[in-house]
Structure 1
């Protein structure tokens, strides 16, 4: 089976560049229905995409721009938003324009249909996969899981530490890992992310009592201030009225208490800063999960995900 990846993963490979090097190579790719990638450079008023193939111009007719455009289940924004970005396609033929210049006819829809028929049915709850962030909404993060096919990571599944918006954790075009959370009766896939970021014990092992470390203030409550040490580990500091959610902080670790899944902190300093979200540290990167337990065995409360 072809190794289906998010759009943009293929474009800079040697094999892809070689296939775009000449018209002869493109003809060969057409004969073998080989999946290629290149950058879309224009979308006309009829929503046909022009693609820069290097050796010649390529055109993706509107209805070949994405699966579902022909029957209206996919909106035209799926095509318009690809301008200046990589697109996947197969070469379906060659034509000449009114000036006699040759161009290649391309289909992105065919690649997506192939991905939906050959790859997506192999994804079951617990499957870990590669994804690329495409856009961020208050309720979650949309990612490309293969050939431009989109899936959602709900905001509560991004990390154990709660965030106010997915932009606190991700940026558009970032490559991440995800795990299949569920597949509904229509084949729609929902993803999760927090299970790959480590258990309480794995994250707590990165710290020691008495250390002063970096953190991010995630919420300020009457009874204390929650400070994130890692995406899957947060601690509670004593109440303060001079700090705000979103600020960065330096915090002193008083104690780590596994049986209560608690980290007691003292805020040394809090300040405003515009640091970019850090690249996720994954404790699991491949395979299939059947069950994931966040809580230590000694903890009174069980926190787990069963796939």
Structure 2
């Protein structure tokens, strides 16, 4: 009996692949191998038998169309979620990035599963105008579970005694207006309570006059709640902020760094300079100037360039030592050119010693004036017999060793070079030149003087 031949379906096969898998026994993603050859021979499709290659092409098309297999661990790492979430407790101070400014709350990413939120009413209008997506702000945790409830400070209009007690327990600041002054401190307006700030708890450091505070709105730490009386502290918050800023500055400075900073205090033993964030550095007196004869002439507010020579970060009170000298050029660098042997210089006596005196011929450059080189007219047993500290003298350079930072000068030689050297002076300073030995520095100076005068004649 004749039967009509089935019409081959020439439409794209994408719509038939599920039927093919069901009819042939294959599953998506499987490929043919030798053991499936016989099974394939038995496959009869509605549109007639097709070659094995056609089914392989369908399977390959399916594999390519499928989304790539994703590694969940890599997704976590790329998203920055490899670290466990830190548990937030009420009162914790956190820093986060603003991610949304829409709606009644400001959303802040604080590294939790959900963004934290701060009511917009906690921001002043001008603060909201300046706030941008991506800005970093600090806040306190009011509730750490779920979406963290954050607060910059509990506003006065939302306070009551129960809220104040909770703020005392968690450490979340409260906001209030300084209304007046009494015998022991300042009064602060709080709804349903009497706020009091002792004088010692209003400022950090120098106490400001009351007129600088009355009428202003501040944030306070609730120290104690006694019935309707609430003891507040502004200094506690200022101290926390200063500590955070100091830690930030400490993380950025290092030994060898050169900075331009203001002088904040002048003492007999040195200067204190402000490095930022409330961190002060000490410039010891010996590191202020190369010159020993100059007194400290800096005043509070002066800008100086310093080099950090020691940074101690450990302990409650970090210590930083700075130097003005180290930030300047070494005065001994060009001494041989500025002060050749035989040159006549004028200097100031900076200190006396049993064996001689030290004369400063330039800022930071001291020379030794030996006791035997002080006077040719008399025998000097002690420099103090003819010299005093601060006295200016005229000397001749007799020796220079820049590497060892040493220089020798002589008053006697300067006087001799100013006059015609007599036979005795020649015999004393040029004796070693006649026997062929090395000529002394003083002998060189006198010889050069004689040669110069002979040329002029």
Q: TM-score, normalised by structure 1?
A: 0.46
Higher RCO (Cα < 8 Å, 6 or more apart): 1
Q: TM-score, normalised by structure 2?
A: 0.33
Higher strand share: 1
Bigger Rg, structure 1 or 2? 2
Higher helix share: 2
